[in-house]
Structure 1
Amino acid sequence: MPTVTYVSPDGTERSVAVPPGTTVMEAALDNGIDGIVGECGGAAMCATCHVYVESEHLAAAPPMTVDEDAMLDEASSARAGNSRLSCQLPMTAELDGIRVRLPERQR
């Protein structure tokens, strides 16, 4: 099963196994990861699941949609070149081992 590692702003890391097809956001909520809110339930409508994807996995992520791109401009924490909404990142074999950094705040 693929794994994702969540890195909190203080540097604390937590890795979890994620069934393929489950989003990085869903896995965070299912495993009690602090720092992911997911207010809209994964519809790319709130930006409360904003993460920074570490560079080695950024190219393996699915292309960003227009809606995701627009929502990232509304995120509470600064948008960066590696910003993604974790609700738009379904786990695949290609993303196995992905590391995402959580922003200081989501709302």
Structure 2
Amino acid sequence: MKDMTFGTILAVFEETFGIGLFWTMVAVAALVTIAYVYVLIRDHSISWRKFLLAQLSMPVGAILAIWFVLVMTSSKLTDLGGPVDIIVVLGIAVAGAIGTAILVYTIQSLIRPRQ
């Protein structure tokens, strides 16, 4: 793989997760993002109580993201081979944590709108 293009990365993700699951994840991420932007526009501010609860869910999201990728790739943590693998796993954990925080905040705001 000489060239790292968007098409190459897309093909790798489709091969790793399967076409159906990958595009389902993309669609869900897009819907959650749209709902989050809607909540921010509707409320005109961030609720710090909801934000705190969303932050408390971040470690769970990080662990679940790492677990999901390990299951999908049929890998174990003992398969990590070097610094690049550690960086990738940490990136997965960060993405899972941030995604979970956004999801939790959005769900809270949609269930209990600002007074």
Q: TM-score range by the shorter chain?
A: under 0.3
Question: Normalized against structure 2, the TM-score is what?
Answer: 0.26
Q: TM-score, normalised by structure 1?
A: 0.28
Higher helix share: 2
More strand by share: 1
